[in-house]
Amino acid sequence: MTITITAFERSPDGGKGLARDTRVRWALEEVGQPYRVRLVSFSAMREPAHLALHPFGQIPTYEEGDLVLFETGAIVLHIAERHPGLLPTDANARARAITWMFAALNTVEPPILELTIAKLLEADKPWYEKRLPLVEDRVRSRLNELSARLGDAEWLDGAFSAGDLLMVSVLLRLKPSGILNEFPNLAAYVARGEARPAYKRAFDAQLAVNTGKPPAG
Ligand code: GTB
């Protein structure tokens, strides 16, 4: 059955792979499932046709026959449950990998998002300079804990899983801040994720949309 996802017609990051369709593309590339991409403009996202797919008028969405999904975490979990490659077969290891998916989205991403939003929307506010170090320290505190848990392991719990896919995706948002480099094992972990052929294919595909140039190779 054909899989169709939605992505920004023009991503605000110009193709740095930070919009959440990259996470879904990456998951589909990891499991080797072909997919189509329907590009949507900001105005089309508010239209009834898109709101029928996504109640909050956002991307990404996922369509497969009669099934329509929104929320990146749910989409990646669906892909991982339907196709081998992103979740272990052992029940306990599978449950732990899913735990890492939730940890990435519910525990690690919120302070990172707060930092992104502060830099994007609050830089002209009188209290910005005073607040920024507090927000950055909340990120550092989470990274410190994550770094301690990862140690010198390659991935969070055994083989690469959907938990790593989401954790790497979340940490990638920190690259421009330089904070990631304060944690060499996390920086290396992110680099390992970015080096995966499936990630490269996903990244190149979303970059091609945003630059108008076809993916290399
Ligand atoms: N919880 C939802 C999910 O995980 O799927 C959140 C989805 C979401 O935030 N979608 C964003 C969106 O559609 C795009 S990814 N925004 C438009 C709107 O809400 O009207 C967030 C995003 C956008 C842009 C960048 N960037 O340019 O760097 C990074 C991340």
Is 13 a pocket residue for ligand 1 (Cβ < 6 Å)? yes
Q: Whose CA is nearest to atom 17 of ligand 1?
A: 58
Q: What is the DSSP letter of 38?
A: E
Distances (CA, A) of 87 to 1, 14, 99, 145, 164: 21, 31, 11, 24, 10
Q: Whose CA is nearest to atom 26 of ligand 1?
A: 13
Share of the chain above pLDDT 90, in %: 95
The 10s digit of each residue's pLDDT in 57-111 is 999 999 999 999 999 999 999 999 999 999 999 999 999 999 999 999 999 999 9
User: Strand, coil or helix: what is 37?
Assistant: strand
pLDDT of residue 176: 87
Out of 46, 58, 175, mutate this one to test ligand 1's pocket (max ligand atoms within 8 Å of CB): namely 58
pLDDT of residue 217: 63
Distance 100 CA to ligand 1 centre (A): 21
Cis peptide before 60 (omega within 30 of 0): yes
Q: Whose CA is nearest to atom 22 of ligand 1?
A: 19
Average pLDDT of the chain to the nearest whole number? 96
Burial of 133 (0-12, 13-18, 19+ CB in 10 A): exposed
Is 14 a pocket residue for ligand 1 (Cβ < 6 Å)? no
CA-CA distance, 13 to 42, in Å (whole number)? 14
Whether residue 187 is predicted with pLDDT greater than 90 in this model: the reply is yes
* The one-letter amino acid at 144: N
The 10s digit of each residue's pLDDT in 139-168 is 999 999 999 999 999 999 999 999 999 999
Ligand 1 atom with the shortest distance to the CA of 20: 15
Whether residue 215 is predicted with pLDDT greater than 80 in this model: the reply is no
CA-CA distance, 161 to 167, in Å (whole number)? 10
Is 59 a pocket residue for ligand 1 (Cβ < 6 Å)? yes
CA-CA distance, 70 to 76, in Å (whole number)? 10
The 10s digit of each residue's pLDDT in 6-59 is 999 999 999 999 999 999 999 999 999 999 999 999 999 999 999 999 999 999
Is 12 a pocket residue for ligand 1 (Cβ < 6 Å)? yes
Contact 27, 162 (CB under 8 A): yes
CA-CA distance, 20 to 25, in Å (whole number)? 9
pLDDT of residue 93: 98
Is 114 a pocket residue for ligand 1 (Cβ < 6 Å)? no
Band of residue 214 on the pLDDT scale cut at 50, 70, 90: confident
pLDDT of residue 83: 98
Distance 18 CA to ligand 1 centre (A): 9
pLDDT of residue 14: 93
Whether residue 177 is predicted with pLDDT greater than 90 in this model: the reply is no
Question: DSSP string of 124-150?
Answer: TSTTHHHHHHHHHHHHHHHHHHHHHHH
